Amino acid sequence: MVIEFTEPRRFVEELESMRNDTLQIVRGGQLGRLEFGDPSLPPGQRPEVAGILKLLMYPERRVGDVLAHRMASIPDLDIKQRVAAQMHEEISHTRLLRKMLSQWGHDPDSGWTEPVRELVSIFDYIESLETLSEFFSTFLIGEGLFLSTYLDDMYESDPKAFSPYLEVARADEPSHVHLAADAVARYAIAPELQERTRESARRLLQMFLGGYQARVREMRTQLMKSA
C-alpha cells in the first residue's frame, strides 16, 4: 500500500481536525462535566474548585519533565528555545497551583503523589514515542484539548475562583499549541512518518477521552468523601 505524502501544514490541519472532532464529544457531555460548586462561597471553601486544581497538578508538572527528557533530541535551536520557554511556563503554573492550594489549607502535592491512573498512562505513552513528529503531535492535540476542555470551561463558569492560575495558564497555552504545530510541520516530512503520527494521534485521543472521564469520576469521588 502506497502512503501519500501530505504537505506538512495540511497535515497539521488534519491533526487539528481530529482534535476538534474529539472536542465535540467532550462538549456533548456524555463523558460527564466539571463541577464548580456554589459560586456564593469563596473558592477556598469549595471542594469542587480545589479538586480541579489538584487534578491539574499532575499534567502541569509532568509536562515540564517530559519536555526536559526530549530536549537533547531536538536538533533545531529555534524549536529547542521555544520548548525551554514552555518548560519555564509549565513550572510557573505548577508553582501557582501549589501556592493556591496551600493558601486554602489543602495538600498542594496530592495531585502529584496520588495522580489519576489514566493521566500517568497518557504521559508514559508520550514519553515512549520515538519520533519528534509523533511526540509533538501529542502536544498539538493534548495542549489544544486542555485549553478548550479545562481552561476555557473554568473561564466561562467562574474565572475569579481560579485566579491567578487561570489568567496565567490561558495566556500561555496558545503559544504551546503553536509550538507543537510548527514542530509537527517541521518534522513530519515523510509519508510513513506521517502515518505513524496519525496512529499515535488516534491513540492519544482515545486516551484523552478516558482520562477526561476518569478526572470527572475522581472529582465526584472526592466530593463524596468531603461531604
CA angle 196, 193, 139 (to 5 degrees): 65
Instruction: Flag whether 3 is in a domain.
Output: no
CATH number at residue 180: 1.20.1260.10
Instruction: Flag whether 16 is in a domain.
Output: yes
Q: How many domains does the chain have?
A: 1
Instruction: Flag whether 61 is in a domain.
Output: yes
- Identify the CA nearest to 53 among candidates 12, 93, 13: 93
Instruction: Flag whether 28 is in a domain.
Output: no
Rounded CA-CA distance 157/9 in Å is 34
The confidence score (pLDDT) of residue 227 equals 63
Tell me the pLDDT band of 1, cut-offs 50, 70 and 90.
low
Question: Residue 184 in contact with residue 11, Cβ under 8 Å?
Answer: yes
pLDDT in tens, 159-174: 999 999 999 999 999 9
pLDDT in tens, 19-58: 999 989 888 888 888 889 899 999 999 999 999 999 999 9
Range of the domain at 178: 8-22+43-226
Instruction: Flag whether 150 is in a domain.
Output: yes
Instruction: Flag whether 38 is in a domain.
Output: no
Tell me the pLDDT band of 210, cut-offs 50, 70 and 90.
confident
On the question of pLDDT at 180 being above 80, the answer is: yes
Rounded CA-CA distance 74/208 in Å is 25
